[in-house]
Amino acid sequence: MFWDQASETLSRPLLERAQLAQLQETVRRVALSVPFYQQKFASLGLKPEDIQSLADVRRLPFTANDDLRAHYPTGLLAVPLEEPVRLHTSSGTTGKPKALLFTRKDIDQAAELVARSLVMTGVTRQDVFQNMMSYGLFTGGLMMHYGAEKVGCLVIPSGPGTSERQLMLMQDFRTTVAHILPSYALYFAGFLEQRGIDPRRDLAWRKAFVGAEPYTEETRQKIQQALGIQVFNSYGLTEMNGPGVAFECEHQCGMHLWEDHFLLEIIDPKTGEPVPEGQQGELVLTTLKREAMPILRYRTRDITRLLPGPCPCGRSHRRLDRITGRSDDMLIVRGVNIFPQQIERVLMAHPQIGRNYVIILEGLDDLTVEVELAAAGFDGDVEHVAALQHHLAEKLKAELWVRPKVNLVPAGSLPIAEGKAKRVIDKRSL
How many Å apart are CA 96 and CA 131, to the nearest integer?
Answer: 27
Distance CA 262, CA 249 (A): 18
Residue 214 interacts with, from ligand ADP, Zn ion, none (CB under 5-8 Å by kind):
ligand ADP
Q: Are 227 and 177 in contact (CB under 8 A)?
A: no
Nearest-5° Cα angle at 162, 159 to 163: 105
302 near ligand ADP, rule: CB under 6 A:
yes
The region that residue 163 occupies, defined by phi over 0 for left and psi between -120 and 50 for alpha, beta otherwise, is alpha
Measured CA distances, 32 to 82, 103, 111, 147, 262 (Å):
18, 18, 28, 32, 21
Give the CB-nearest residue to ligand ADP: 211
Q: How are beta strands 154-156 and 128-131 bridged, if at all?
A: parallel
DSSP string, 386-415: HHHHHHHHHHHHHHHSS--EEEEE-TT-S-
Q: How far apart are CA 83 and CA 101, in angstroms?
A: 9
Nearer to ligand ADP, 213 or 268 (CB): 213
With CB under 5 A as the contact rule, the residue among 18, 137, 313, 333 that binds Zn ion is 313
- How far, in Å, CA of 234 to CA of 244, rounded? 7
Which phi and psi angles does 404 have, rounded to 5°?
-85, 165
Which partner, Zn ion, ligand ADP, none, binds residue 238 by CB below 5 to 8 Å per kind?
Answer: ligand ADP
Residue 321 within binding range of ligand ADP, rule CB under 6 A? no
Give the Cα separation of 47 and 33 in Å (integer). 14
User: Which one of residues 107, 311, 348, 396 is an interface residue with Zn ion (CB under 5 A)?
Assistant: 311
Q: State the minimum distance, in angstroms, from the CB of residue 278 to Zn ion.
A: 17
In the complex, the smallest distance separating the C-beta of residue 94 from ligand ADP, rounded to whole angstroms, is: 10
Binding to ligand ADP, residues 87-146 (CB under 6 A): 90-91
Q: Is residue 160 near ligand ADP by the rule CB under 6 A?
A: no
Q: Minimal distance in Å, beta carbon 91 to ligand ADP? A: 3
In the range 239-258, which residues lie near Zn ion by CB under 5 A? Answer: 249
Between residue 4 and residue 63, which ones bind ligand ADP under the rule CB under 6 A? none
Of the candidates 326, 350, 395, 428, which one interacts with ligand ADP according to CB under 6 A? 326
Stretch that binds ligand ADP, among 119-127, 165-173, 235-243, 400-408 (CB under 6 A): 235-243
| Residue (of 17, 25, 13) closest to 287 by Cα position | 25
> Which of Zn ion, ligand ADP, none does residue 213 bind to, with CB < 5 to 8 Å depending on kind?
ligand ADP
State the binding partner of 354 from ligand ADP, Zn ion, none, CB within 5 to 8 A by kind. Answer: none
State which residue, 311 or 406, has the beta carbon closest to ligand ADP: 311
C-beta of 19 vs 300, nearer to ligand ADP: 300
Question: Contacts with Zn ion in 161-220 (CB under 5 A)?
Answer: none
Binding mask 336-375 for ligand ADP (x = CB under 6 A): ----------------------------------------
Residue of 34, 87, 84 lying closest to 63 (CA atoms):
34
Smallest gap from Cβ 388 to ligand ADP, in A, equals 29
3-class SS shares of the chain: helix, strand, coil, % to 5:
35, 25, 40
Cα–Cα distances in angstroms (integers) from residue 162 to residues 89, 193, 213, in the given order: 24, 16, 20
Q: Which is nearer to Zn ion, 307 or 414 (CB)?
A: 307
Binding residues vs Zn ion (CB under 5 A): 249, 311, 313, 315
Residues of this chain that interact with ligand ADP (CB under 6 A) are: 90-91, 211-214, 233-238, 300, 302, 323, 326, 420
